[in-house]
Amino acid sequence: MVPLDGTRRWATADVRLADGRVAEVAATIPAPAGAEIVDATDALVLPGFVQAHVHVVQSLVRNRAEGLALLPWLRERIWPYEAALSRGEVGAAARLGIAELLAGGTTTALDMGTTHDQDGIFAAADELGIRFASGKCHMDVGEGVPPGLLEDTDESLAEAERLGARWHGAAAGRLRYAVAPRFVLSCTRELMAGAVSLARRHGYLLHTHASENPVETALVREVSGMGNVEFLADLGIGGSDTVLAHCVHLEDHEIGLLAAHATGVAHCPGANLKLASGIADVPRLLAAGARIGLGADGPPCNNRLSVFHEMALAGTLHNLRYGACALDPWTVLELATCRGAAAIGLGDEIGSLQPGRRADVVVLRADTWAMEPGGDPAAMVVYGGGVASVRHVIVDGRVVVRDGELVSADAAAVRREARAAARAVADRLGWQ
């Protein structure tokens, strides 16, 4: 067992879960009468993985948005796709994305939806059993935004207010609302101000993209006269209730701002490489004291939602600038567990296995070829782990993946509905 409890120790142990929480961790625990036994022989037991930035609603456009940098990728593929989604297709996309997350050992995700039909995304998270913070995306301005996504400012905020009232705290606190203006280039100042006010009034997270791409960051400076993170902070978007995805192109003083405000940062190396956005300076952000988690971002910019892919990249990518151990494997594993949990405001609830924490657990096979012959478990997971390593996944004490198979939903139906919906959307858009 690798508890990630502030130590970097591991030991052979039993874990007892009760009432959705970790009840006990000890070398040997006699099975209470009637207890369900989850076998973790020859396996690594860890807290469930946390992703600090995903878009499950984009799942149906995976493998249909290749070879583009951020702004043309959004304008030519992602926005037309999101605008074309029907209510049922939003649900099918969310079920596919959430199934992939759970089957890959991710038990908690901070997600951004599209402008419409956010109820279907929460309903999918409720049904499949993931711990999930999400919010409708806000867009009320912007070059290349299709009419189907362009919202009236007041109506957009009113819809978020309705969604937060319905979903925040639902499923015994497993679901949470996050106010999600897409990025500076698609939101008026009025919308941003309204989003901040809404989030602070209700205690919701604020979640947006920042400084992902050099063209985007230059455009933000043109419209605001400031750096992107600086401008957001000026609008009130910063602090321990805020998570900014990417933060690749930062000005020096913005690193200090992120650390001083304790703003969460979602590091998304897979997406940043695929869209040729750049490499976030995570070692420097960590040294400054920033709170950081990992995220796969969207299925069409990665093209997978595997926390293992992000860990392997985070553990190697920064060596180009800083040398052979820019981020040691324990730090990387913490980004995917306890540090990621803290970055999205759940550091006291999840991200480590100790009594009182939520019963979110992942059991990884230790007998895959890339894990053998054992050794440092952080190195095993970061460099040798993969979706195929996942044996069992438990969220809130409920087994959602057993022996590598999703059991909280009909996996064949999730696949069948996603394929049919993806085909239907592509046909409407005239795409192959």
Q: Given the rule CB under 5 A, which residues bind Zn ion?
A: 245, 297
Joined together, the tokens standing for residue 72 give 């043309």
Residue nearest to Zn ion (CB): 297
Q: Is 114 helix (H, G, I), strand (E, B) or coil?
A: coil
- Asked if 95 contacts 116 with a C-beta cutoff of 8 angstroms, the reply is no
Alpha-carbon dihedral 176, 136, 345, 53, rounded to 10 degrees? 120
How many C-beta neighbours within 10 Å does residue 142 have? Answer: 18
Q: How far is the CB of 183 from Zn ion (least distance, A)?
A: 9
Which CA distances in Å does 231 have to 17, 236, 251?
A: 45, 9, 12
CB of 84 or CB of 210, closer to Zn ion: 210
Q: In angstroms, give the least distance from the CB of 325 to Zn ion.
A: 29
Closest to 9 in 3D by CA, of 357, 414, 320, 333: 333
Q: Which is nearer to Zn ion, 245 or 275 (CB)?
A: 245
Provide the minimum distance between the beta carbon of 300 and Zn ion in the complex, in angstroms, as a whole number: 10
C-beta of 78 vs 333, nearer to Zn ion: 78
Q: How far is the CB of 68 from Zn ion (least distance, A)?
A: 15
Nearer to Zn ion, 254 or 297 (CB): 297
**Cβ-based nearer residue to Zn ion, 280 or 371:** 280
CB of 111 to Zn ion, least distance (A): 9
Question: Of 245 and 285, which CB lies nearer to Zn ion in the complex structure?
Answer: 245
Q: How far is the CB of 30 from Zn ion (least distance, A)?
A: 47
* Min CB(245)–Zn ion separation in Å: 5
Residues forming a β-bridge with 25: 15
Nearer of residues 74 and 381 to Zn ion, judged by Cβ: 74
Within 174-267, strands assigned E span 175-181, 205-210, 242-246, 264-267
CB of 341 to Zn ion, least distance (A): 19
Q: Which residues contact 428 (CB under 8 A, 6 or more apart)?
A: 84
Torsions phi, psi for 21 (to 5 deg): -130, 160
Contacts of 164 (CB under 8 A, 6+ apart): 135, 177, 179, 198, 202, 204
CA gap 120, 218 in Å, rounded: 35
Give the nearer residue to Zn ion in terms of CB position, either 95 or 246. 246
178: alpha, beta or left? (left if phi > 0; alpha if psi -120 to 50): beta
Straight-line distance from the first to the last Cα atom of the chain, in angstroms, rounded to the nearest whole number: 47
